[in-house]
Structure 1
Amino acid sequence: MGGSGPGPASQPTTESGLTHRQILVVFSGLMLGMLLAALDQTIVATALPTIVGDLHGLNRLSWVVTAYLLTSTASAPLYGKISDLYGRKRVFQGAILIFLAGSVLSGLAQSMNQLVAFRAIQGLGAGGLIVLATTIIGDIVSPRERGRYQGYFGAVFGLASVAGPLLGGFLVEGPGWRWIFYVNLPIGAVALVVTSVVLKDSIRRRAHRIDFGGAGLMVAGVSALLLVTVWAGNQYPWSSPTIIGLAGAGIGLIVAFLVRERHAAEPILPLRLFRNRVFSVASAMGFIVGVGMFGAIIFLPVYLQLVNGVSPTVSGLLLIPLVVGLFVASIGSGQIISRVGRYKIFPILGTALMALGLWLLSHLGVHTSHVMASLYMLVLGVGIGGVMQVLVLATQNAVDYTDLGVATSLATFFRSLGGAFGTSIFGAILTSRLTHLLPQLLPPGTPAKSVQVALTGSPAALAKLSPAAHSGAVTAFVRSLHTVFTVGVPFALAAFVLACLLPEIQLRRAVTTDQQVPAAESVEAADTVGVS
């Protein structure tokens, strides 16, 4: 243990040289940071109908989520690179501070435009919280052992998925929706204190060149393409100059980004990694899984509140089956992988269950019982839990240790990028189908536009409609949601095909590819662990 002091000799150590207790000390800080990002996603999902009803920005509903995903996606590769150069601890704490600043500003927002902008700032911080927590574990735990420890990250997401909707519902019905952002402040303060105590940087500065120009090209290109998915067929015809121009600009900017990355001294997206088949297949899977997962799940709380007429708090409780499935599959798969050293079967089974779960959810109706809906969500949750952490583990195991930070950040990048596109695409599909169905299902003389505003605005506004208009609106929403979940099924099936093609490499028992374990030397007797 390189002078760790008395004690470790009497405790069983992992192959990386750290005791289980020492690793859990590191986890205490990392999981608090990750809890911030995970909790924020689930709290906002439950409160969205109320937020939109208060700030009156129906056409920007999906962007409250998309802006967060876009900036967290774009910043993820930068965090991986910057932490490789400056050290994990200080960059991780910087991400916490950025996230907290965005939280305060989001709580103070007076319009949907302001909220979208401040959510983008939150996303800048969130991109580092998830990426760096996973990367730091890669610094101190070997791939063979990492399965069971990363299962704890799945537990954090599970806890956040249960606590988020419940806490969000309580805050919306109590002090108000703005507190779903303010609640991050005490958690963030504790995370800063804990990480200051348990993490210790031991880095050597070296010359560096970070590709901020490439990051700008990527953000601009992805933003243009996301605008196409949101506006096309709704605000502008597909053949309009606006949509054609945005599509052309988006494609051109992405091509320019790839050309720049090929020649950049410190690229945020090293194209050479795509020569690694595990990395390329896992990245494609992550993108597709993100499309189906984020794009479909965001509408479940809305369905429960608008169709079943439950409160935000109760809608959070009704999502527990999905969380239980994710929690059990994530922890269970991690434990089994650590024992057997093999992982491929889990993404194969997980993507198959995702496809089945989305297909089952496409049958949700106005009169679907809570028991059946819970069963559908349980299947989807088990599928997601068997895929998410395993893809990160496979990627980390397949690349050289010097690429650990950037490879981990890119694994998160592609999943988040898929989520951003999925949220926009499925939001556009829902809006388009509502526009088509409402005139057919509403009583004669009922203005479809005002009903659509009430339907996707807030449950309180929907409750004010006449019984006939309410029935037609809910039926239109359910039929539109059928299309959303049905479109998600092919994405899950495509991920299943890729899972079958994913190469399986025996998991290493050492942290680094050269069998060295430098992280062990940074653990001191006081359980202050150094990460670089």
Structure 2
Amino acid sequence: MTSSAGATVAAPVAVSARPLLTLLAMLALFLAAMDSTAMGTLLPFIKGQLGDEALYPWLMSGFILASVLATPLAGWMADIVGEKTAILGALLLFLLGSLAIWYAPSMQMLLWARVLQGAGAGAITVTTYVIIGRLYSAQERGKMQGILSLVWGLAAIAGPLAGALIHQLWGWRTVFLLNVPLCLVIAALIAAAYPRAAQAPTSPKRIDPLTLLAFAAFLTSALLLIMAGSLRLSEASRNGWSAVLAASLLIQAWRVYANKERSLVPVAFLSERRYLAPALATVLASITLYASVTLLPLYLNGSGHTDSVEGGLLVMAAALGWVVGSALCGGLTGKIGFRLPGVIGALLLLGGTGLLMTLTPAAANAMFALSQGLIGLGIGFIATTALVAVQNQAPLERIGGYTAAIQLCRNIGAALGINTMASLQIMSLRELEGGHVANAWSLSFDRSFEVLFAMTVLALLCALFMSSRPVRQN
């Protein structure tokens, strides 16, 4: 299997080792996904031990921010030094972060350790998808991406349960300490089994430090501005971060205009319809999923409809739907192309958000579970289709950068969904309470659900612009 530039990809070299390498990549992804889901269960115990209530929410958001920032860099590094070196470096970062969490004596140190671990988790996620993209042909990638989605689904279910069980037996720090030997074993096996990097860049590339710093500043300031309401940033702080946002964007534009190779996200990804349509659909689908699973438990619990356990079980329907949707979609893209699976996914999202928009707190739990299941199925179809579409239409020598770009869209959608919709709900609640409107609590969520429905309409439009061609034969 060769690229247009003549660089051979790893698949034919490692055919005999593919099952082992696939298993190791899935285990690495499972570790990263488990830690992102287990933290929600452990937060109350960590806060009770270390205190500092102003900082503990950042154990989640700091992890996400670091993952987002690591995504394009990890994809770029996979293209430059090869996916084998990239995954080993990602595992090392994750190991060091986990070890630092186990040791951290204060909330401040724990926060920085979580940032380090988040960077490792983001890099593991990207390089895992790159490895699968390298090892398998275009016809096989759809099925394999569906299998990788099973890992996310399993982690979404097992992470909180395993975290709570391990905490009860040995304490919350042990949850993260166990990552150390597991990372060492996975890294050693990958180092031994993975062949020497078979792909080689057509020309030497160097990381442009100014572009990298500007990109990090852009994402950091953008996410902080999105979270400004929940963080209660002052007007001066918002103005300052707005200035950073504008300056970082201008610096990136200047550097990339002078040399397109400096762009961390491939320029074609942002300009060509075959990449842009799946990218936007992924962002919108991620907004819908993450906003719904964040808002629904609050909505039901605040309305006295369910307790926290029941709300969590309802949200689990979305994770299971994602797994099923990915598995179903994985086998379709190679037969019917990308547009139809994308449209099916968007229609499922429309059905889920439309149902959610019409339900009242008195509705049966089965109806809420159905809405979440439809939303999960929808993002399963869209996320898998978009990833396979981008990988199969990207230059093979740049598959790492393109994979990182589509993963970045998913992460940005998650951040936008959680923070933007939560801010909308809070502002709506204040407005309704100020007007002494009856049922202000439930009505404030209704507005957010209506916006999510509108998001899925836009996702459908993006899906209609996806390529209808089947995957390429390479």
The two structures share one fold, judged by TM-score above 0.5: yes
Between the aligned partners of 1:359 and 1:175, the Cα distance in structure 2 is: 44
Per-residue deviation at 1:125?
0.8
CA distance in 2 between counterparts of 1:230 and 1:29 reads 36
Specify the alignment match of 1:456 in structure 2.
none
- The correspondence for 2:73, drawn from 64, 72, 78, is 78
Aligned amino acid, residue 266 of structure 2: P
The DSSP-based 3-state class of the residue aligned with 1:387 is helix
Aligned to 2:243: 248
Tell me, yes or no, if structure 1 residue 221 matches structure 2 residue 214: no
Query: Is this contact kept in 2: 1:43–1:167, CA < 8 A?
Result: yes
The equivalent position to 2:39 in structure 1, one of 44, 56, 65, is 44
For residues 259 and 292 of structure 1, the distance between their equivalents in structure 2, rounded to whole angstroms, comes to 34
Which string of whole-angstrom CA distances, capped at 9 and with x for unpartnered residues, describes residues 400-440 of structure 1?
11221111111111221222233332343344456566789
- Return the letter of the residue paired with 1:39: M
Alignment of 1:380-399 (within 5 A): 380-399=375-394
Residue 102 and residue 490 in structure 1: after superposition, are their counterparts in 2 closer, same or farther (change >3 A)?
farther
Are the equivalent residues in 1 in contact too, given 2:425–2:448 (CA < 8 A)?
yes
Q: In structure 1, how many angstroms separate the alpha carbons of the residues matched to 2:415 and 2:126?
A: 17
CA, structure 1 residues 50+96, in 2 after alignment: closer, same or farther (shift >3 Å)?
same
Corresponding letter in the other structure for 1:77:
P
CA contact (8 A) 1:261 1:270 kept: no
Query: Does the 8 Å contact 1:55/1:112 carry over to 2?
Result: yes
Change (3 A) 1:437 1:198: farther
1:374 to partner: Cα distance: 1.7
TM-score (norm 1): 0.76
Cα shift at 1:395: 0.5
Q: Structure 1 residues 259 and 40 mapped into 2: Cα distance closer, same or farther (>3 Å)?
A: same
Q: 1:277 aligns with which of 270, 273, 276?
A: 273
Q: Name the residue aligned to 2:330.
A: 334
Q: 5+ unaligned residues in a row in structure 2: which ranges? A: 2-10
Matched, 1:425 2:420: yes
Higher relative contact order (CA 8 A, sep 6+): 1
Amino acid aligned to 2:251: A
Question: Aligned match of 2:209 in 204, 207, 212?
Answer: 212
Alpha-carbon contact 1:62-1:427 (below 8 Å) kept: no
Which has the higher Rg, Structure 1 or Structure 2?
1
CA contact (8 A) 1:281 1:498 kept: yes
Which of 177, 181, 188 does residue 176 from structure 2 map onto? 181
> Where does 1:228-247 land on structure 2 (aligned, <5 Å)?
228-232=225-229, 235=232, 240-247=235-242
**Structure 1 residues 358-507: aligned runs within 5 Å:** 358-362=353-357, 366-433=361-428, 480-507=444-471
Partner of 1:286: 282
Q: Which is worse superposed, 106-115 or 486-495?
A: 106-115
Distance 1:364 1:110, change over 3 A: farther
Alignment of 1:13-32 (within 5 A): 22-32=17-27
More helix by share: 2
In structure 2, what residue type is equivalent to 1:145? E
Aligned-pair CA distance for 1:150: 1.6
1:492 alignment partner AA: T
Q: Which amino acid aligns with 2:293?
A: I
**Alpha-carbon separation, structure 1, partners of 2:305 and 2:95:** 34
Cα shift readout 1:260-280 (whole Å, capped 9, x = no counterpart): 223245431232443432112
- Once the two structures are superposed, the pairs formed by residues 79-228 of structure 1 within 5 Å of their partners are 79-109=74-104, 113-171=108-166, 175-202=170-197, 207-228=204-225
1:21 shift after superposition = 6.9
Gaps of 5+ in 1: 2-15, 442-471, 511-532
Q: Which residue of structure 1 aligns with residue 60 of structure 2? A: 65
Cα deviation, residue 75, structure 1: 1.6
Farther-moved stretch of structure 1 (379-388 vs 248-257): 248-257
Could you tell me how far apart the structure 1 residues matched to 2:431 and 2:99 are?
39
Are 1:296 and 2:292 an aligned pair?
yes
Q: CA–CA distance in 2 between the matches of 1:392 and 1:138?
A: 10
| Whole-angstrom CA distance in 1 between matches of 2:443 and 2:106 | 30
Asked if 1 retains the 8 angstrom alpha-carbon contact of 2:336 and 2:469, the reply is no
Shift of 1:348: 1.3
Inter-CA distance 415–194: structure 2 relative to 1 (3 Å threshold):
same
1:509 aligns with 2:449: no
Pair 18,256 (structure 1): closer, same or farther in 2 beyond 3 Å: closer
Q: SS of the residue aligned with 1:506?
A: coil
Change (3 A) 1:87 1:219: same
The percentage of aligned residue pairs carrying the same residue is: 26
Q: Deviations over 1:16-68 (max 9, x none)?
A: 65898753222101101111222222222344466556655665565433322
Q: Could you tell me how far apart the structure 1 residues matched to 2:107 and 2:172 are?
A: 13
Q: Tell me if the contact between 1:288 and 1:494 (Cα under 8 Å) persists in the aligned partners.
A: yes
Cα distance in 2 for residues equivalent to 1:321 and 1:33: 24
Q: Is the 8 A contact 1:296 1:484 kept in 2?
A: no
Compared CA separation, residues 436 and 85, structure 1 to 2 (3 A): same
- Letter of the 1:36 counterpart: L
**Distance in 1 (alpha carbons) for counterparts of 2:366 and 2:319:** 15
* 1:324 paired residue among 320, 323, 346: 320
Q: Deviations over 1:117-149 (max 9, x none)?
A: 332212211121111111122222222221112
Tell me which moved more, 275-284 or 298-307: 298-307
Letter in 2 for 1:223: T
What CA distance in whole angstroms lies between the structure 1 residues aligned with 2:456 and 2:106?
A: 36
User: Partners of 1:370 and 1:194 in 2: how far apart?
Assistant: 45
Which moved further from structure 2: 377-386 or 484-493? 484-493
CA separation of 1:371 and 1:181: change in aligned 2, threshold 3 A: farther
